Chain A
């Protein structure tokens, strides 16, 4: 095959992918375009942007959404930090040491991967109410850490187990404690995989809807996913500010995505998750 037929062969592929991308992005395009419009402009044409742009939509929506985003930041930030610390500690112990009830403890962790969330939703809510955690940030953070650590531990354990024993042997000979080998050998070597785990958990906690919906009734503590559904009913048919609010709510993760693009793409594709 020469260069020309190579290019021709790819032309069809590009066409297919562009059509798929176009269809994927149409809703978001309409969201973005509508977010700058008044209602009149919207009814005039919904496909295309129209002058003048109404930036005040963003001000109106921002006032309400910004607090939800801040709450999500606090909850997601604390949860993911907690998940990383707690899951890496237990993963390290399971991967590199032998101790009496190791397999029992290990199965206590991984069995939870088979338990569907619907089973615990209702009793967990009653339990949180009993513990007086409803309407606090802890009702989100603690269960997120507890739930998120399992899969993270599982993946990290696999990674820690694959590290060469000589490294840890050498550290032991030099008198390093368990905590020191964890901090100075295991953690620095696993930064790429830790970032994958962080990203997966950020997406998961940021997007969770049902749990914060039932446990947080105080509007000042609502996270962005729940906040948006309340926000939507407030604006009713004012599509401009409504779409501006959705756009603002999408920005934090998109910014994070581009900031961590390399980790994101490489992390999710270099290590293959399979069965």
Chain B
């Protein structure tokens, strides 16, 4: 009996050792910064000295002109990205899935996966080159087609800079979303299709009545992931426009970045981070309550 207990203890100890490396890393590199953020958002903080100001950072956010301009911008970019993610890669995946020839299915799948492995920075840089007012491809094409009056300064134009950012990576087919839809469609069993065929459900009817409900899990995943990524995204803005011209392409993530790394207002930046996180957490809770989802991976 005693021997059994000892064995169990040794075995358990080994189990804890299996978890220890991951757990220690999490505590040091993830949890500690999280608690620092929750605590320092109440301070003015330059990274070294800190002074408690209560909710001062949050009241300051309300009057921050850059932050106020950034909210509608990020909502626009998020709505646009969600709209795109729920339509174009889905249609492309459905069309590829319905090709009769297996080899061409494979071919298109590879074709729409390659751009995913090109570093995003390269894609951004190439799009910057496309939008360039002098050498840019877009203006050259328009001039070549005799539409010179439509040429513009694109990223430099406050009225259309958001559209330019939204149109990066047009036509938005290639990438993870396409592959996730594809996976969903391929997991639908052939029996369901056979019985659908007998019931006369083909083409668009089948797409609406069978495919869409059966890949709802994938659609929800992409819907929620796109929102969460877009609300906090600021890499494109940081690389291409710095929020400009003026505040016309400012997004909250970049306001945070700017406060921290240009003005060393770490406390204020932490507060913005906390605000964005609370907003996203709210969305996640709504999602869990009403859409009732958890991520799963079936293989």
The answer to whether A and B assemble together is yes
Give CA–CA (A133, B45) in the complex, Å. 20
Assess whether A71 is interfacial by the CB under 8 Å rule. Answer: no
B34 x A119 contact (CB < 8 A): yes
Give CA–CA (A145, B193) in the complex, Å. 43
B299 x A271 contact (CB < 8 A): yes
Least Cβ–Cβ distance between A83 and chain B, in angstroms: 10
B95 x A207 contact (CB < 8 A): no
B273 x A275 contact (CB < 8 A): no
B15 x A99 contact (CB < 8 A): yes
Q: Which residue among B228, B232, B253, B295 has the maximum number of chain A CB atoms within 10 Å of its CB?
A: B295
Mask: chain A, 20-45; 1 = CB below 8 Å from B; 0 = not: 11011101101100000000001100
Give CA–CA (A182, B18) in the complex, Å. 10
Least Cβ–Cβ distance between A33 and chain B, in angstroms: 11
Mask: chain B, 265-296; 1 = CB below 8 Å from A; 0 = not: 01001101110110011001000000101111
Residues of B within 8 A of A159 (CB): 297, 299
Residues of A within 8 A of B36 (CB): 123, 126-127
Contact A232/B16 with A86-B25, A118-B256 known, Cβ cut-off 8 Å = no
Assess whether A269 is interfacial by the CB under 8 Å rule. Answer: yes
Least Cβ–Cβ distance between A226 and chain B, in angstroms: 8
A264 x B95 contact (CB < 8 A): no
Residues of B within 8 A of A273 (CB): 180, 183, 218, 221, 295-297
A178 x B239 contact (CB < 8 A): no
Within 8 A of B (CB), among A1-56: 6, 9-10, 13-14, 16-17, 20-21, 23-25, 27-28, 30-31, 42-43, 46
Assess whether B201 is interfacial by the CB under 8 Å rule. Answer: no
Assess whether B154 is interfacial by the CB under 8 Å rule. Answer: no
A6 x B117 contact (CB < 8 A): no
- Which of A43, A86, A239 touches B21 (beta carbons < 8 Å)? A86
Contact A272/B125 with A155-B297, A193-B299 known, Cβ cut-off 8 Å = no
Contact A209/B127 with A112-B30, A254-B117 known, Cβ cut-off 8 Å = no
Least Cβ–Cβ distance between B48 and chain A, in angstroms: 9
A228 x B220 contact (CB < 8 A): no
B117 x A214 contact (CB < 8 A): no
Give CA–CA (A210, B232) in the complex, Å. 12
- Which of A24, A142, A143, A193 touches B115 (beta carbons < 8 Å)? A24
Residues of A within 8 A of B218 (CB): 272-275
Give CA–CA (A256, B119) in the complex, Å. 13
Assess whether A61 is interfacial by the CB under 8 Å rule. Answer: no
Least Cβ–Cβ distance between A143 and chain B, in angstroms: 5
A115 (CB) vs chain B CBs: closest residue: B34
A21 x B121 contact (CB < 8 A): no
Residues of B within 8 A of A210 (CB): 234-235, 238, 257
Give CA–CA (A261, B113) in the complex, Å. 10
Assess whether B129 is interfacial by the CB under 8 Å rule. Answer: yes
A94 (CB) vs chain B CBs: closest residue: B19
Mask: chain B, 22-48; 1 = CB below 8 Å from A; 0 = not: 110110111111101100100000010
Interface of A is mostly: helix
Residues of A within 8 A of B234 (CB): 210
Assess whether A103 is interfacial by the CB under 8 Å rule. Answer: no
Contact A228/B121 with A115-B34, A275-B221 known, Cβ cut-off 8 Å = yes
B34 x A256 contact (CB < 8 A): no
Contact A28/B14 with A119-B274, A210-B238, A273-B180 known, Cβ cut-off 8 Å = no
B231 (CB) vs chain A CBs: closest residue: A116
- Which of A42, A129, A264, A275 touches B293 (beta carbons < 8 Å)? A275
A27 x B299 contact (CB < 8 A): no
Question: How many A residues touch B, CB cutoff 8 Å?
Answer: 101
Assess whether B62 is interfacial by the CB under 8 Å rule. Answer: no
Assess whether B64 is interfacial by the CB under 8 Å rule. Answer: no
A146 x B29 contact (CB < 8 A): yes
A253 x B118 contact (CB < 8 A): yes
B22 x A149 contact (CB < 8 A): yes
Give CA–CA (A23, B141) in the complex, Å. 14
Please give me the 9 A-B residue pairs with the lowest Cβ-Cβ distance, nearest first.
Answer: A274-B217, A271-B299, A123-B36, A275-B293, A146-B29, A146-B25, A93-B18, A119-B277, A124-B33
Q: List 29 A-B contacts (CB under 8 A).
A: A13-B98, A17-B108, A21-B173, A30-B137, A42-B135, A86-B25, A90-B19, A93-B15, A114-B281, A116-B280, A118-B253, A122-B256, A122-B260, A122-B266, A123-B40, A125-B260, A143-B29, A149-B25, A209-B121, A210-B235, A224-B121, A229-B125, A229-B239, A250-B119, A256-B117, A265-B106, A265-B113, A270-B183, A272-B217
Beyond known contacts A123-B36, A203-B117, A229-B125: 15 more, CB 8 A cutoff? A108-B31, A116-B232, A118-B253, A121-B256, A122-B260, A126-B266, A143-B29, A146-B25, A154-B295, A209-B235, A225-B120, A249-B121, A268-B176, A271-B299, A273-B183
Interface residues of B (CB under 8 A from A): 11-12, 14-16, 18-19, 21-23, 25-26, 28-34, 36-37, 40, 47, 92, 95-96, 98-101, 104, 106, 108-123, 125-127, 129-130, 135, 137, 140, 170-171, 173-174, 176, 179-180, 182-184, 186-187, 215, 217-218, 220-221, 224, 228, 231-232, 234-235, 238-239, 253, 256-257, 260-261, 266, 269-270, 272-274, 276-277, 280-281, 284, 291, 293-299
